[in-house]
Each structure stands twice: as structure tokens, then as C-alpha cells.
Amino acid sequence: MKRMLATLAVLAALPAGAALADDDCRVSPEQMQSWESVAQLAHDYGWTISSMEMDDGCYEVNVTDTGGNTIEAKIDPATLQVIKAKLEQFARDTPAPAATPAPAAPAN
């Protein structure tokens, strides 16, 4: 009986989880901030914009950061919050971080 109730609880939660997983921006045109605001946000982050577009109701920008890394960011058009950012490519000129040696074991 407990197993059946647990299964029913999981099945009941699936539609809610699918709705929460939806990352589309649902904003009315009156709430949307301008493309210039998105460009200013990118400038504030130190990003150089290579392209901007609308995708699933969100602003999507492809940028290069100050380290030369290429990033794709999805931005809420009402709040200008970065919803998701994905590193597309590491900068080629950036050296790999140096390995840090493990701390020495304490002496007894």
C-alpha cells in the first residue's frame, strides 16, 4: 500500500515538474525591456556581443567575456536576469590553471 501511494505521489508531481522545467520567458510586450538595455547589461558584465536574438520569448545573446571565452546567455526580457548561461568555447590564449599540490599529511 505504501509503495502504491509513493508511486501515485511521484506520478502526480510529474506534470508540475514539467511545468517548472519550462524555461521559456512568458512576458507581455509592455513588460519587455529594450534591446539597448540588454546591450547595457552586457557592457556592465564586460561582455562583447557578437549576436542577439529572441528565442522562446527570451533574449539570447552570444558574447565574449573579458577573458576571451565565448558564452551563450539567455536573459529574461522583463527583469534582465540571466536565466541560463552556457560556456561555448574557452579562450585559446588563456593558460590552464596551475595544479595545486595536495597538503602534506600531518606528522604523528
Residue 91: predicted pLDDT: 80
pLDDT, tens only, 15-46 = 444 444 455 799 999 999 999 999 999 999 99
pLDDT higher than 60, residue 13: no
Which residue, 65, 88, 62, 64, is CA-closest to 75? Answer: 62
Confidence of residue 6 (pLDDT cuts 50, 70, 90): very low
Instruction: Give the domain ranges of the chain.
Output: 26-89
pLDDT, tens only, 39-82 = 999 999 999 999 999 999 999 999 999 989 999 999 999 999 99
Bridge partners of 84, per DSSP, are 74
Which residue, 41, 44, 92, 31, is CA-closest to 60? Answer: 41
Average pLDDT over every residue of 87-93:
82
- Which cell numbers hold the place of 91? 579562450
Q: Which residue has the cell 557578437?
A: 50
Residue 2: predicted pLDDT: 47
Q: DSSP string spanning the chain? A: -HHHHHHHHHHHHHHHHHHHH-------TTTPPPHHHHHHHHHHHT-EEEEEEEETTEEEEEEE-TTS-EEEEEE-TTT--EEEEEEEE--SSSPPPPPPPPPPPPP-
Confidence of residue 10 (pLDDT cuts 50, 70, 90): very low
Decide which of 2.60.120.10, 1.10.10.1100, 3.10.450.40, 3.40.50.920 is the CATH code for 26-89.
Answer: 3.10.450.40
